[in-house]
A and B are shown apart, each in its own frame.
Chain A
Amino acid sequence: MPILEWGRIMVWTNAIIQGLLTGGLYALLASGLSLIFGVMRIVNLAHGDFSILAAYAVISVAMHTNLIGGIVLVLPVMALLGYFLQRTLLNKSLAMGVLSPLLITFAFSIIIQNVLLQVYTANNKSILTGRFASESIKIAKNLQIGLLPLVTFLAGVIVTICLHFFLNHSQLGRALRATSDDPMAADLVGINNRHIYGIATAIGLFSAGIGGILFGMRTQFAPSFGPIALVFAFEAVIIGGLGSLWGTLLGGVVLGIAQGVGSQIQPAYGILAGHIVFIAVLVLRPQGLLPKQMGAQK
C-alpha cells in the first residue's frame, strides 16, 4: 500500500484549503487593527469586541428587516461609531501618552462585553443565513469548498485590494500615510490629524464589522468571543509584518492554514498550531513575512 494514497492527500489538501479560506476572516479582523496601529500607534484592544458587537447588531436589525438590510445598516454605523469614538475619546487620550489609548480601548472592550451580556445573555447565537451557510462547491472526491468560507476569503481579499487602492491612489489615503509618517509635517501641509485619525478608526471598525458578521455566520458566538478574535487578528498582523497590508492578508492565511493543519492532526491542536507558528515567526523573522519596504519607521 502506498504511503501517500489519494484519500489521504485529499484530506490534507482539504485541511489546507479550509485553513486558507479561514485566513481571509483573520485578515479581515486584522486589517483594521493594523491600520489603526499603523496610523496612530494605538493598539485597539477592543477590536475583537467591536467585530462581535457588529455581529450582534446584525442579528437585531435582521429581525426587523432582513439579513442584507442588517449588514447594509450596521456597517456604516460601525464606521460612524469609530469616527465618533476617535474624535471624542481617543484623540484626547493620544495627547496623554501611550498608555492612555491602551487603557481606553481596554475599557471599550469591557464595556462592550458587558453590554452584550446584558442585552443578549451569555447564550451562544449565530447569524442565520438559511442555506447560504451550508452550500458548497464540490471540487473533487472528499474535497468541497463551502460557499460561506469562500465568500469570507474573497471578502478578505477584496477589502485588502480596496484598502490598497485607497491608501495608494486617493488623496485621503495618501494623507493617511503621510500622517502615519509624520503627524507634525502633515499638519504643515494642511491635513487635520484629528479628522484623519477619525477616518482611520472608521475604516478599522468598518472592516472589523465585516469580519465579525462573517464570523457570526460561520459559527456560534457569545459576548466573550471578542478577545479571542483579537488574539487571532494580532497574530495575523505580526506574522505578516507590521504596517504591511498584503502582509496582513498573508499572515491571516498562514495562521488559518496552521490552524487547519493542526486540527487535522488532532482536533484540539488547531489553535495551538496557530500559536506555535506565530511564536516561530516572532523568533525567526520578527519583522514578519512581508514587512513594510522601508527603514524609517518611527
Chain B
Amino acid sequence: MSILSVNHVEAHYGDLKALFGISLTIDAGQVHSVIGANGAGKSTLLKVIAGNLPASSGEVIYQNKNINNQSAHERVKSGISLVPEGRRIFSSLTVEENLKVGAFTKRSGHWNLKTVKELYPLLADRWNRIGYYCSGGELQMLAIGRALMANPDLLLIDEASLGLAPVVVGQVYASLSEITKQGTSVLLVEQDVHQALRASTSTSVLLEGKVVMEGSSSSLTISSIKDAYFGVGANNGLD
C-alpha cells in the first residue's frame, strides 16, 4: 500500500519552472531515495510534498487523500515531517527546547524526548546548548530528532549527509533503520548516490525537474545512474 503518491506535479519559483511533471510513489514503511545533481529539483520536490511550495499543477496524494490545499503546518498534523535543507534549527532555543517544539502537534507515537535521546546519545550531552552553538553533525541529528518528535508517518529528509564528516554520516544513516522500524516511511533526498542506494529500497533519479530513471535500489547500477544523472542518452536537450 502506498503512503504517498505524487502525480504529474509541476512547481514554479516565480516565473522559473522547477518541476516538470514529477510522479513517484512511496510504499508504506519503505525508504525511497531521490537522487540527482544540483538544481535537478530534489529539494523543490520535498518542499512541494511538505507544503512549503504550492504545486502549480498535478496532485500530492497522502494516505489516499489529496493534500494540495493543506498548508505545511496542517501536513505536520497529518503526519508529514520535513528535515529541511540547511537543517533550520531554532538558533536561540536549546537542544531540549528544539525537540519540545518539534512535538508541537502532540501526535502520539514511539518518539519522545527519551527515545530521541537514545537514538542520538550525542544530543543528550548537548542538552542545554542553544542551536546557534551546535556543530553540523549535532544540528543534523537535532533536525531529524525534532522532526521525529512529531511522530510522523512520512519523514522527508533533505541532504542528510551534506557538509558532515563521514563518521557522522554513518551515524545518521545507521539511525534510519531504527526510524523505519517504527513503521515510518522515509523519503530521502541525497547527492551521495552510494549512500542513497544503500539506505533505500527504491530510488528515483531526477534531472532538470523530471524523473529520468526509477526502480528498486538494488536493480539500479551505478553506471546506468551516471548516464541518467548527466542526461547521457536521455535525450532531453542537454547538448
Interface residues, chain A, with chain B CB atoms under 8 Å away: 171, 174-175, 177-178, 180-182, 184-193, 292, 294-296
Task: Identify 12 residue pairs between A and B in the complex whose beta-carbon atoms are under 8 Å apart, listed by A's number.
Answer: A180-B92, A181-B93, A185-B84, A185-B90, A186-B101, A187-B73, A189-B102, A189-B105, A294-B130, A295-B132, A296-B92, A296-B131
Q: How far is the CB of B97 from chain A (nearest CB, A)?
A: 5
Bound-state CA distance A186–B147 (Å) is 11
| B40 at interface by CB-CB < 8 Å | no
Bound-state CA distance A188–B89 (Å) is 11
| B110 at interface by CB-CB < 8 Å | no
Residue pair B82, A292 in contact (C-beta under 8 Å): no
Bound-state CA distance A223–B104 (Å) is 42
Residue pair A192, B90 in contact (C-beta under 8 Å): no
**Within the complex, which residue of B71, B77, B92, B146 is in contact with A181, where a contact is CB–CB below 8 Å?**
B92
**Within the complex, which residue of B88, B100, B132, B150 is in contact with A190, where a contact is CB–CB below 8 Å?**
B150
Residue pair B88, A296 in contact (C-beta under 8 Å): no
**Other A-B pairs beyond A178-B93, A185-B88, A296-B132, 6, CB < 8 Å:** A174-B100, A178-B90, A191-B101, A192-B73, A294-B130, A296-B131
Bound-state CA distance A178–B104 (Å) is 11
Residues of B with C-beta under 8 A to A186: 90, 101
Residue pair A189, B150 in contact (C-beta under 8 Å): yes
Residue pair B76, A188 in contact (C-beta under 8 Å): yes
Residue pair A177, B92 in contact (C-beta under 8 Å): yes
Bound-state CA distance A294–B98 (Å) is 16
Chain B residue at minimal CB-CB distance from A292 = B92
| B25 at interface by CB-CB < 8 Å | no
Given A175-B104, A188-B81, A191-B101: A181 and B76 interface contact (C-beta under 8 Å): no
Specify the main secondary structure of chain B where it touches its partner: mixed
Most chain B CB within 10 A, of A175, A190, A295, is at A190
Residue pair A187, B92 in contact (C-beta under 8 Å): no
* The 5 residue pairs across chains A and B that have the minimum distance between CB atoms: A190-B76, A185-B88, A190-B105, A296-B91, A181-B90
Bound-state CA distance A181–B90 (Å) is 6
Q: Which of B50-74 contact A (CB under 8 A)?
A: 50-52, 71-73
Chain B: number of interface residues, binned into ranges: 20 to 34
Given A171-B100, A175-B104, A185-B84: A191 and B73 interface contact (C-beta under 8 Å): yes
Residues of A with C-beta under 8 A to B102: 189
Residues of A with C-beta under 8 A to B104: 171, 175, 189-191
Bound-state CA distance A292–B98 (Å) is 18
Bound-state CA distance A294–B89 (Å) is 14
Given A174-B93, A177-B93, A178-B90: A188 and B132 interface contact (C-beta under 8 Å): no
Residues of A with C-beta under 8 A to B82: 188
Most chain B CB within 10 A, of A184, A189, A296, is at A189
Bound-state CA distance A186–B72 (Å) is 10
Residue pair B101, A187 in contact (C-beta under 8 Å): no
Q: How far is the CB of B94 from chain A (nearest CB, A)?
A: 10
Residues of A with C-beta under 8 A to B149: 189
Bound-state CA distance A189–B93 (Å) is 14
Residues of A with C-beta under 8 A to B97: 174, 177-178
Residues of A with C-beta under 8 A to B92: 177, 180-181, 292, 294, 296
Q: How far is the CB of A243 from chain B (nearest CB, A)?
A: 9
Residues of B with C-beta under 8 A to A295: 132
Residue pair A178, B101 in contact (C-beta under 8 Å): yes
Bound-state CA distance A171–B96 (Å) is 12
Bound-state CA distance A191–B146 (Å) is 13
Most chain B CB within 10 A, of A171, A185, A296, is at A185
**Within the complex, which residue of B72, B101, B132 is in contact with A174, where a contact is CB–CB below 8 Å?**
B101
Chain B residue at minimal CB-CB distance from A168 = B97
Given A171-B104, A174-B100, A178-B101: A187 and B91 interface contact (C-beta under 8 Å): no
Q: How far is the CB of B44 from chain A (nearest CB, A)?
A: 14
Residue pair A187, B52 in contact (C-beta under 8 Å): yes
